[in-house]
Amino acid sequence: MATALKNLSDYNLNEIPSAKGMRIGIAVAQWNTHITGALLDGALNTLKKQGAHDSDIIVKPIPGSYELPTAAQFFFESALELDAVICIGCLIKGETLHFEYICEAISQGIKDVSLKYNKPVIFGVLTVLTEQQALDRCGGKHGNKGDEAAVSAIKMIALQKSLS
Ligand code: RBF
């Protein structure tokens, strides 16, 4: 699990499928926006580099990370006909157990929505102990988890298309 061993932006994009024609929703939590904004920039940058069209990427702000699974469900229930949803958030551990409860709920919730709709729902959520750890992973020394989330979405959409 150690991101210290893997740079989150270290991809050879020539080896990643084209994202042309892929339709992707992105839900972005509005807590720690200096982090989630950078994660969003990374995801958008990677999707566009791989050929995704602006009009095929739908970005929506949501209150906090806890609401990410519900937002993903709203995306799939909409008329947008999305191939995947990327959930972007940043949880920084505080002094109470709130962090543990929210991390658990989000990771389970994202998995549940993905299985319910049979579509990729990507965990673009930083769960860190300090703000510095988040800064290191949203464009800092460990790369940008937004890039990794976009690559995961593209790969999973391509996988599903190849099997259907
Ligand atoms: N949302 C986040 O996305 N990241 C956080 O670090 C975060 N910390 C929170 C800490 C406390 C004490 C509370 C009450 C909420 C926090 N939230 C955070 C918001 C949470 O995900 C959710 O939006 C709200 O709890 C409303 O359901």
In angstroms, rounded to a whole number, what is the distance separating the alpha carbons of residues 37 and 67?
A: 17
Question: Is 104 domain-assigned?
Answer: yes
Is ligand 1 within 6 A of the CB of residue 99?
Answer: no
User: Which CATH number is 122's domain given?
Assistant: 3.40.50.960
What confidence tens digit (pLDDT) does each residue in 79-92 have?
A: 999 999 999 999 99
Asked whether the beta carbons of 150 and 46 are under 8 A apart, the reply is yes
Domain count, the chain: 1
Q: Which residues are catalytic?
A: 98
DSSP assignments along 96-133, one per residue: STHHHHHHHHHHHHHHHHHHHHTS-EEEEEEEESSHHH
Asked whether the beta carbons of 122 and 28 are under 8 A apart, the reply is no
Question: Is 19 domain-assigned?
Answer: no
Which run of H or of E encompasses 39?
helix 33-49
Nearest to 132 by CA among 161, 93, 164, 106: 93
Question: Is 70 domain-assigned?
Answer: yes
Question: Is 7 domain-assigned?
Answer: no
Question: Is 159 domain-assigned?
Answer: yes
Predicted confidence at residue 1, as pLDDT, reads: 62
* Candidate of 28, 31, 35 to mutate for ligand 1, largest count of ligand atoms within 8 Å of Cβ: 31
Predicted confidence at residue 5, as pLDDT, reads: 63
Predicted confidence at residue 89, as pLDDT, reads: 98
Question: Is 17 domain-assigned?
Answer: no
Is ligand 1 within 6 A of the CB of residue 92?
Answer: yes
* Candidate of 36, 98, 106, 138 to mutate for ligand 1, largest count of ligand atoms within 8 Å of Cβ: 98
What domain range is 40 assigned to?
A: 24-163
Question: Is 11 domain-assigned?
Answer: no
What confidence tens digit (pLDDT) does each residue in 2-21 have?
A: 666 678 888 888 899 999 99
Question: Is 15 domain-assigned?
Answer: no
Tell me the pLDDT band of 24, cut-offs 50, 70 and 90: very high
> pTM, whole model, 2 decimals?
0.95
